[in-house]
A and B are shown apart, each in its own frame.
Chain A
């Protein structure tokens, strides 16, 4: 890190000019320590899985189903095997162990054997000496299908023939809270639809499998859940987990469970079969076909309120389209049902939630899953209520927001800080951006873009609000645990922890924690593999909390080891000694020595675990203390809408967020900006269309991610630092909750600009058109 900062400030043509004194290198908690790999990633020298190479490697290709639902009559691999250069072809017959896998529930075949249940389901895989040969051989596998009618409407899944031996209903939660007879003076209803967002990681899936001399296999891939993946691989290969090793390479973007196992399983299988290293790099199309998406959701709501706008009762039906396999749909449904009323006090709530199986592509974890879909719906309901009662939308929300001590519809009391009112007031009171007419004409960026068709006379501005909440860590009794080791030798500290750096900034945070605790400047974070103890999947803010907590404990244990002899010598307890700037000083400043001297050439090691307090599953009425902690966010959106074309430009998003404690300001701002921009995608453009179960346009032209021009001005108005006493450092996860609140805020602003109901995300242009003739 130190040489990185040095090269950044010296050298280059600017060195001749009068250089201001170099800024001190940030370190410790609360500083904006830059990531250690920032430079390599910026310059394009950082090695990702797609860059890996092994001598004599073979290339893999996967044959995928072109049908969303079909019975397989026969699979003939003879032609593929006979092609020169082909070394192995594997199908369901070659899976030695458990034939199924799955993140939440093992219901997904490694290779389809009798039935294909979604477009893109793997059927066979080929290893060959050239990628083109592998692809051609995969295409030469002859599969005879009896094409069946796909079930693509989740509402029809209840009545349809079972698509899977496990049935079509993956989970049903009938939440009952309060008095079912309660009636409000005002009632608003709405039906809402949320589209299918794809995580669309910038780097598509890739991996290299290398067979081991002991008959095992090593997999180099950008896994975000290495131990979970290892266990699934080992089970399918009928190997002991110790003989399968997952080595995590650089992760090129992860807002979901990355590296679908449907890629990893064939890869390792082919390496075991051929005895050669095998590499697979997915094309963009395969990437869209392979990994899981955000749950498309259908929501029906009825809000009851009194004349002052206070909520009396919320009734809702929530239907998640899980796609062909369960994956983590059960978790998504729990979040959707528990947060169906949002961060508002609701005395009576009756929520029915279902996750059902269809022949659509499988849905899974994408950050803010469940919570994002319901946020768009309950915030739309709040807008409707405000309109009906003639109350300002922000004021109506403020009359209902929850605070610490209030009870969720699941019966769980919110014990963590919940400064929702403060967040909402902060964004409401932030000055509005100038109108286009108040700025020079050449600076206008109208809906439709700089070369678009926008016309100032047809543009209307709207302001809207979105208030969201998510839970952190696994819910409903999931065992959350992480183990970390800290080693100090020669003034250099090393952190070993299987928490994957997915871009969330864990490795930077780990360095800051060790710097803070041990006063050591140079801290390295070791690469992750499954020989280390498990740390859990990199999602739901887990690593900031659980792995960060483990690193802190280990660092504190090293600190004690370091200070014990010294304390003994000085005749005081270790608590009375401080470490700062490479020096150990007693509390009164009288006694002092350098860290190097105290180390005395020793190498200090310590390993520690962090396990947050346990949770319980939701019961038959959706009741239970299911969540470890919650985070909140309020967003005010300002949009410009061309009311003739229906094109929308988000002008500004003002964000206020409950963060517990700011550990790295630069990284925190980057995470919020990234989350908010992902929310812009959900609100306006991102929807993977699957007419009749077939994925249309699986490319980045057809699937429109937000570009730099689509990203609005993001103003972080307020970060509320109310420490969460149960979380290490008091910090909360920050990445997911902006994704939850921003689509709702944008929809609310479009509603304000156009007066149209806007009950579907992404917002289609025809839903934002104001037709004067009507």
Chain B
């Protein structure tokens, strides 16, 4: 007996395939799936969550790697942050690798998974702005071998939800073969939760820039107007050149889009933003400017 709650879950199932896991969840609707457990087990240990049963996902080898599929990478939801941080993965999807390396101390990165980061959907989840910028889609496994595909932003915004018995199986990410950047501002030099983060990817085939800002809102924010505007200013055929003033303006544009000015009162007066919010806006502007600068350099 320990001070924590070992008997919190009455039953633990350890399936070896995705369909077995779905079946186990369907058979016992009160059970909770667990992969790395970095968020779930703290909730269990503090007594906030008392799952009747646990379905462990760590033995499902099919979701612990990745494969290629018509210009996309199909990432298993069980990929750990440590695995995503390695150089071979970084060559494939650099921004996701950078986010995975920044995601916390080594013991958390060794356990925490991509799927878990999406399912927890914490505002500070480091992989989320990257997935939003990449316009990734989720392949959801359902009962009876069913598969459906939804955009990651739909799940994060609550437009589409996971239904009973469903699991995130894979994450489909386009392979863009161009620079990608993930930048994160934290309160300390060591690992910490993001105050604000920016993911920025270039899509040279479509001559597009895609950017997402994390940690400042419940879900990653996409400054679409700023993306379109700045994509026109990039000289795509000439080494992706851009004038420095445009970088600066892009930062301000992104920041103003994510943290808008307050709505004027009826008499036309505008209350200034509180200092802390102004600082956050400046932080987002600096991150976006640096991210675009690094991607184009």
Contact = CB atoms under 8 A, between A and B. Distances in A.
Interface in B1-24: 1, 3-5
A401 to B, nearest CB: 32
A452 B3 contact: no
A451 B279 contact: no
Contacts of A130: 1
Interface in B208-230: none
B46 interface: yes
A281 interface: yes
B3 A453 contact: no
Contact of A447 (B4, B46, B189, B195): B189
B282 A452 contact: no
A713 to B, nearest CB: 13
Contacts of B65: none
Interface string A703-715: 0101111100000
A701 B42 CA distance: 12
A183 B287 CA distance: 49
A240 interface: no
Contact of A451 (B46, B101, B287, B290): B101
Contact of A453 (B187, B191, B287): B287
A131 B282 contact: no
Interface residues of A, number: 36
Contact of B190 (A50, A283, A708, A766): A708
B110 to A, nearest CB: 16
Nearest to A57: B1
Contacts of A706: 188, 190
Contacts of B232: none
Contacts of B183: 452-453
Nearest to A646: B279
A709 B287 CA distance: 22
Given A704-B192, A707-B191, A771-B282, A453 B98 contact: no
Contacts of A644: 282-283, 286
Interface string A695-734: 0000001001011111000000000000000000000000
Nearest to B2: A131
Interface residues of B, number: 31
B51 to A, nearest CB: 14
A448 B46 contact: no
B185 interface: yes
Nearest to A707: B190
Given A448-B189, A707-B190, A710-B189, A769 B184 contact: no
B71 interface: no
Max count, chain A CB within 10 A of own CB: residue among B47, B188, B282, B283: B188
Interface in A118-135: 130-132, 135
A659 to B, nearest CB: 29
B184 A452 contact: yes
A647 interface: yes
Contacts of A771: 282
A684 interface: yes
A455 interface: yes
Interface in B222-252: none
Contacts of B101: 451
Interface in B161-184: 183-184
B191 A449 contact: yes
B250 to A, nearest CB: 15
B290 A766 contact: no
Contacts of B67: none
Interface in A20-59: 50, 59
A649 interface: yes
B193 interface: yes
Given A132-B5, A132-B47, A449 B186 contact: yes
Contacts of B191: 449, 707, 709
B186 A452 contact: yes
B279 A769 contact: yes
Nearest to B280: A766
B167 to A, nearest CB: 27
Interface string B253-297: 000000000000000000000011011001100110010000000
Interface string A623-666: 00000000000000000000011110100000000000000000
B188 A704 contact: yes
A445 B275 CA distance: 28
B102 interface: yes
A617 interface: no
A2 to B, nearest CB: 36
A253 to B, nearest CB: 18
A448 B182 CA distance: 13
A708 B189 CA distance: 9
A451 B184 contact: yes
Contact of A283 (B46, B102, B189, B193): B46
Given A644-B282, A644-B286, A765 B187 contact: yes
Contacts of A451: 98, 101-102, 184
A709 B46 CA distance: 28
Interface in A131-185: 131-132, 135
B38 to A, nearest CB: 11
A281 B279 contact: no
A648 to B, nearest CB: 8
A704 B1 contact: no
Contacts of A308: none
Contacts of B290: 453, 455
A458 B278 CA distance: 19
A455 B186 CA distance: 14
A109 B195 CA distance: 40
Contacts of B105: 707
Interface in A447-500: 447-449, 451-453, 455, 458
8 contacts: A453-B184, A453-B185, A645-B283, A647-B186, A684-B187, A704-B188, A708-B190, A710-B189
Given A281-B3, A283-B46, A706-B188, 9 more contacts: A130-B1, A135-B47, A448-B184, A449-B188, A451-B98, A452-B189, A644-B282, A645-B286, A709-B189
Interface of A: 50, 59, 130-132, 135, 281, 283, 285, 445, 447-449, 451-453, 455, 458, 644-647, 649, 684-685, 701, 704, 706-710, 765-766, 769, 771
Interface of B: 1, 3-5, 46-47, 98, 101-102, 105, 183-193, 195, 275-276, 278-279, 282-283, 286-287, 290
Closest 6 CB pairs of A and B: A707-B190, A451-B102, A766-B279, A453-B183, A709-B190, A644-B286
